[in-house]
Amino acid sequence: MKFAILVNEGPFNHQASDSAYQFVKAALAKGHQIFRVFFYYDGVYNASKLSEPPTDDRNVVANWGKLAEEHKLDLVVCVAAALRRGIKDENLAPGFRISGLGQLIEAGIQADRLVTFGD
């Protein structure tokens, strides 16, 4: 099955991005496809390469990037939400790309299920 994932909250402040990450890993392990992971609202902060968590904690931003590399995931950050919050190409973490909201709607159309994480 093809899943689309929507992440609406930033890293660390909320668990949403971690939950989405665990869901995506579990879905991939079951042989499902991840059509796209879309980051909206404060979720765009998951794509900041300026994030530097303490070394004894998980690195949410880097973990998404690694998972994307391993599984050729399409991690898309909403341009309008990102610009509002100061996420731009110059501080975009590896593995992410910035694009329009149409990418979310397209994911909703193309995927079999859209699963949302976070408020």
Catalytically active residues are: 78
| Among candidate residues 23, 41, 28, the one with its CA nearest the CA of residue 104 | 41
Give the interface segment with other proteins, choosing from 15-23, 49-57, 58-66, 88-96 (CB under 8 A).
15-23
End-to-end Cα distance, the chain: 25
Per rule CB under 8 A, is residue 22 in the interface with other proteins? yes
Smaller CB distance to other proteins: residue 43 or 95? 43
Those residues whose C-beta lies under 8 Å from the C-beta of residue 45, and which sit 6 or more positions away, are 10, 11, 51, 85, 87
Smaller CB distance to other proteins: residue 29 or 56? 29
Q: How far is the CB of 37 from other proteins (least distance, A)?
A: 14
CA dist., res. 63 & res. 70, Å (int): 11
Smaller CB distance to other proteins: residue 52 or 70? 70
Q: How far is the CB of 64 from other proteins (least distance, A)?
A: 16
Q: How many Cβ atoms are within 10 Å of 24's Cβ, its own excluded?
A: 23
Per rule CB under 8 A, is residue 118 in the interface with other proteins? yes
